Amino acid sequence: MTSITDASMSDRFTSAMEEIHNKHLKTYADIIDTAGEHSQSHRQFVKSALDTCLKKCKEDDKLFETIQAFKKDLEQKDRSLKEKRHTISEVMSEVQEKEMQKEDIIQKIDKLKVEQTKRKDLIMSQNKANKDRLRNLQKARLVFQDHLGLEIRTILGKTQLVKGEKLQFVFRNINPSDPDSAYIITMGIKEDGSYQIVSSDPALDCLTVLERRLQETNNLPAFLANVRKEFISLARR
């Protein structure tokens, strides 16, 4: 057994202790280096994470601004759409009103066409009736003027009641004591084509009845014959 007092033993112990110490120092140095590397890596990671977060925040802010801009644009478009809908509604109301006016005008035009057709038919009917009356007047003129001394005169009325062209039938040879004495009846034609007795001289009480019968029968010669009879009856009183 080597003695503890051996000088070489002391040197080896010291050497061993230094070697252990150096190993520990190396280990500590490695630990410090590793900790420094980890710290640097952690700082870089934190910086990178912070940069990423800042970038993400900027992107989020930009995205939020874009969303807000889209929202405002959408609100503006919504207001514009409502205004256009209101305008369209007003235009549609105007169109419907014009369509109603158009239908009303078409109905009025159709009604006017019907009335015009009726008026045209009435005028044609009146013209035909007037022609018939003229023929009757010609016949009456031939009968009464040639055989009974009837004189037919055309006159123009001066009052509103008898305004327009009228006919006077002048009867003679009524009163045997005064054959040239004139018995006159004045008549015309109304707008509807019917005969109108304006007056008689001298006045006949039954003139209204004779006029109504003339309008019913449209027989002018018979009417004149009846008038002549009434004048003769009146002259003999």
Confidence (pLDDT) at 208: 92
Confidence (pLDDT) at 138: 67
- Quick one: angle between helices 220-235 and 207-217, nearest 10? 160
Residues 6+ apart with CB under 8 A from 175: 181, 235
Continuous segment of H or E residues that includes residue 70 = helix 7-140
Continuous segment of H or E residues that includes residue 185 = strand 183-189
Q: Can you read off the two tokens belonging to residue 216?
A: 């019913």
Residue type at 228?
R
The domain ranges of the chain are 130-235
SS3 51: helix
Q: Can you give the pTM of this predicted structure?
A: 0.42
Confidence (pLDDT) at 144: 62
- Integer-rounded Cα Rg, in Å, for the chain is 67
Q: Give per-residue pLDDT as tens, 74-95.
A: 888 888 888 888 888 888 888 8
Query: Is residue 27 classed exposed, middle or buried when 0-12, 13-18 and 19+ CB atoms within 10 A define those classes?
Result: exposed
Which residue has better confidence, 15 or 143?
15
The mean pLDDT of the chain is 81
Question: Terminus-to-terminus CA distance in the chain, angstroms?
Answer: 207
Q: Give the integer Cα–Cα distance in Å for 207 and 226.
A: 10
Taking domain 130-235, whether its CATH number is 1.10.260.40 is answered by no
With a cut of 70, say whether residue 130 has pLDDT above it.
no
Quick one: what percent of the chain has pLDDT higher than 90?
Answer: 15
Q: Give per-residue pLDDT as tens, 144-193.
A: 666 667 888 887 655 444 445 788 999 998 988 888 899 999 988 877 77
Residue 71 to residues 67, 75, 76, 77, 188, Cα–Cα distance (Å):
6, 6, 9, 10, 89
